[in-house]
Amino acid sequence: MTEQWRVTVDRDVCMGSGVCLGMAPEHFGFVDQRSSPKAELVEPDERVIDAAESCPIEAILVRAASTGEILAPEQ
C-alpha cells in the first residue's frame, strides 16, 4: 500500500489567494472564500507539495499520514 498524505489548511491564516486551487484543483477548493482540502487523506501527488510550497503564507501543511512527518512546506 502506498503511503498516504494528510493535507490540512489553516483557514484562520488562509488569505484566499487561490494559488493552491490553480496548482491542484483536484485537491483544493474554496469554502467561504478560503481554501479547503477536498480530502484530508490523499495519495502522493507532487502538485499537493507544490501548492503547499507556493502558498504565500504557508497555510497548507502536508504530512505523511502514518508518521506525521512534515513533507511541505519545507521547514
Residues 37, 8 contacting (CB under 8 angstroms): yes
List the CATH code of the domain at 5-72. Answer: 3.30.70.20
Instruction: List per-residue pLDDT tens for the chain, 75 residues long.
Output: 579 999 999 999 999 999 999 999 999 999 999 999 999 999 999 999 999 999 999 999 999 999 999 999 997
Q: Where are the domains of the chain?
A: 5-72
CA distances (Å), origin 14, targets 9, 36, 48, 60: 7, 9, 16, 8
Q: What is the pTM assigned to this prediction? A: 0.93
What is the reported pLDDT for 75? 77
